[in-house]
């Protein structure tokens, strides 16, 4: 009985991995001082790279984002060290920059409900399997 409990505990502990993955940009520690010297978009792209997003309505703002994604076994996924860099751009000139960190970012709650898609076809796993039969060509045939 003790061996079974020991195996169960060892298996449970093995499932509790602690892993951190970085998502987005890895910003330098002194981001604010480095950004303060940037005057053109070319300098900004040399320093950090291309933005992840650019606004299309209103003022042109380049958006850079980085965060650490933490996996702790069976516990929910968490994020920390979140940083957002906003850069207001006018042509090739950097007009203004703003750096937002964890405590300055709002907590956005994602709703667990799903939006229904009009005229969507709901298939179960078996229907999905048979629906894909003959759809894909074998690898290497060049079709």
pLDDT of residue 94: 92
Query: Does the residue 23 lie in any domain?
Result: yes
Residue 27 and residue 82 in contact, taking contact as beta carbons nearer than 8 Å: no
In a domain, 83, yes or no: yes
Write down the pLDDT at residue 113: 83
The domain total for the chain is 1
CB 93 within 8 A of CB 39: yes
Q: Closest by alpha carbon to 71, among 6, 8, 10, 23?
A: 23
Span 64-77, mean pLDDT?
A: 82
Identify the band that residue 115 occupies on the pLDDT scale cut at 50, 70 and 90.
confident
pLDDT of residue 80: 80
Whether residue 51 is contained in a domain is answered as yes
The answer to whether the beta carbons of residues 61 and 89 sit under 8 Å apart is yes
Is 46 inside any structural domain?
Answer: yes
Q: Is the pLDDT of residue 49 over 80?
A: yes
Query: What is the span of the domain harbouring residue 84?
Result: 15-107
């Amino acid at each position: 009985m003790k061996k079974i409990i020991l195996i169960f505990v060892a298996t449970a502990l093995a499932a509790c991995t602690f892993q951190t993955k970085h998502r987005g940009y890895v910003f330098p520690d002194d981001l604010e001082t480095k950004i303060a010297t940037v005057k053109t978009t070319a300098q900004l792209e040399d320093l950090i790279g291309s933005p992840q997003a650019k606004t299309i309505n209103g003022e042109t703002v380049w958006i850079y984002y980085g965060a650490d994604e933490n996996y702790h076994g069976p516990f929910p996924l968490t994020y920390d060290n979140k940083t957002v860099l906003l850069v207001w751009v006018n042509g090739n000139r950097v007009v203004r920059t703003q750096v937002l960190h964890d405590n300055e970012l709002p907590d956005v709650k994602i709703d667990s409900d799903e939006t229904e898609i009009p005229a969507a076809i709901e298939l179960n796993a078996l229907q999905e399997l048979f629906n894909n039969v003959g759809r894909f060509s074998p690898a290497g045939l060049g079709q």
